[in-house]
Amino acid sequence: MQLSVVVPTFNEAPNVAELVRRVALAVRDIEAEIVFVDDSTDDTPAVIRQVAATAPLPVRLIHRESPTGGLGGAVVAGFKAAESDVCVVMDGDLQHPPEDIPALLHRHRRGDVDLVVASRYVGDGDAGGLADRSRVLVSRGSTLLTKAMFPIKLRDVTDPMTGFFLVDRRAIDLDTLRPRGFKILLEILARKVMRVAELPFRFADRHAGESKASFAQGLHFLAQLTALRFGKMSLFAIIGGLGAIANLVIMWALIRFGVEYVTAAIISAEVTIIANFLAQERFVFHDMRGSATSGVWTRFAKAALFNNLELVVRIPVITLLVHTWHISSVIAAGITLLVAFVVRFVFNSLVVYRQTDAAKQPSAVQPRDAAEGVDTV
Ligand code: GDD
Ligand code: MN
């Protein structure tokens, strides 16, 4: 087998037959297979099986009963199942033209790169298939932000967000990847310095059906980016910082509506504590929830208790600092906030999301630790 074409699918039934037909035609001179990794809730698996029966090349289906990692998780599952080390990843909706596959393969066969990226933003590449102006803006903006965060690893890549690329799986360490959502290429590129080439391609319109991109995917992307670049602690800090701003805004609004200021401060603090817990749970500690010793309500109780204690303790500490060190109250408050932040992070990691003994075994710990400070450039 010279090539495995990995196609993640989520409810793409009307696209399967046409995709297989065009891929088969494009790779007719190559020994290739198609691996569908499917998380669908509709009849897509049945359609894939039916198309596979008469396809001119091997078509395999991995249907994931309990999908993890979304689109990216599906791609990694595809890499693991592929017959060939050389894998092309493409979407199942024909926005990525199968006719470009041979060009990706030929570029790889020159032997000087591990990854060939099909880019919308190089040469006569084209992002025409992006649904509307706002998607174009989001795509452009997030590409810029990502390149700014990984200036060296992404030096040769104009389109780190593309879902169309060829990779030699021997060049990636599958176990260090932590796929979450759409940006699997970014995950691969950010983990390790890779030898990369790019080829232009025209991002086409969807053949049928609708995009599964969503606002939630956008949030996942931002979380992924921050975690890749700075590790857990800075993501924690950003969410905490946003929480602090929200706290003040809510307090200000309540006071404007005539609520007395101490009451306003308490209400806004409690609202922020709850929102903050939910955000940390979803974006920062999502990979530690499953193997934590306590359930979600206990975790919430611990976090809420800690934050309320912190609130109560910080005030007298500020007074103490002002009186003994004779520094301004604002600086004193700043110092306590900083110390509280570090303590809170440690408390969350070690107490709220305390891991079961089984999860602490080296094999389970490694992929998680590998996420921290990975970009060493
Ligand atoms: N298995 C699986 N699981 N597949 C999924 C999932 C999932 O949770 N979510 C989406 N997919 C599949 C879709 O069925 C489709 O085949 C492919 O992943 C891409 O999803 P789309 O819904 O078509 O996304 P898009 O067109 O908005 O975005 C694509 O193009 C962008 C620009 O190149 C993706 O490839 C993005 O990653 C890419 O940035
Ligand atoms: Mn698409």
Domain extents for the chain?
A: 3-228, 230-352
Domain 3-228: CATH architecture, name and number where available: Alpha-Beta Complex (3.90)
Name the DSSP letter for residue 292: B
Instruction: Report the alpha-carbon distance of residue 8 to residue 62 in Å, rounded.
Output: 10
Instruction: Report the alpha-carbon distance of residue 89 to residue 375 in Å, rounded.
Output: 24
Radius of gyration of the chain (CA): 24
Residue with tokens 């955000």: 279
Cβ-Cβ contacts under 8 Å for 285 (sequence gap 6 or more): 232, 292, 348, 349, 352, 353
161 pocket-lining for ligand 1 (C-beta < 6 Å):
yes
List, in sequence order, every residue forming a beta bridge with 59; answer none if it has no partner: 34
Instruction: Report the alpha-carbon distance of residue 350 to residue 129 in Å, rounded.
Output: 46
Residue owning the nearest CA to atom 34 of ligand 1 = 163
Interaxial angle between packed helices 232-256 and 329-347, expressed in degrees from 0 to 180 and rounded to the nearest 10:
130
Name the DSSP letter for residue 202: B
Instruction: Report the alpha-carbon distance of residue 266 to residue 192 in Å, rounded.
Output: 46
Contact 161, 186 (CB under 8 A): yes
- Answer positive or negative: Cα dihedral of 112, 115, 121, 124: positive
**Count of residues in the chain:** 377
Residue owning the nearest CA to atom 19 of ligand 1 = 91
Cα of 327 to ligand 2 centre, how many Å? 57
Closest ligand 1 atom, residue 182 Cα: 37
Residue 359: the pLDDT is 66
Residue 148: the pLDDT is 79
Nearest CA-CA partner of 243 in 311, 178, 183, 293: 311
Q: What is the pTM of this model?
A: 0.77
* Ligand 1 mutation pick, 7, 12, 146, 182, max ligand atoms within 8 A of CB: 182
114 pocket-lining for ligand 1 (C-beta < 6 Å):
no
Beta strand 3-9 with 32-38 is parallel
What pLDDT tens digit does each residue of the chain (377 aa) get? Answer: 999 999 999 999 999 999 999 999 999 999 999 999 999 999 999 999 999 999 999 999 999 988 988 999 999 999 999 999 999 999 999 999 999 999 999 999 999 999 999 999 999 999 888 878 888 888 888 888 888 778 778 888 999 999 999 999 999 999 888 888 889 999 999 988 899 999 999 999 999 999 988 888 888 888 888 888 888 788 888 898 898 888 888 888 998 999 888 788 888 889 999 999 999 999 888 878 888 888 999 999 999 999 889 888 877 888 888 888 888 777 777 788 788 888 888 888 788 888 777 665 543 333 333 333 344 33
Residue owning the nearest CA to atom 36 of ligand 1 = 163
Residue 108 in 3-state DSSP? helix
Nearest CA-CA partner of 280 in 334, 333, 226, 229: 226
Report the Cα–Cα distance between both ends of the chain, in Å, rounded: 36
Contact 314, 336 (CB under 8 A): yes
What one-letter code names the amino acid at 22?
R
Helices (H) and strands (E) in the chain, counts: 13, 7
Interaxial angle between packed helices 215-230 and 184-191, expressed in degrees from 0 to 180 and rounded to the nearest 10:
0
Residue 69 in 3-state DSSP? coil
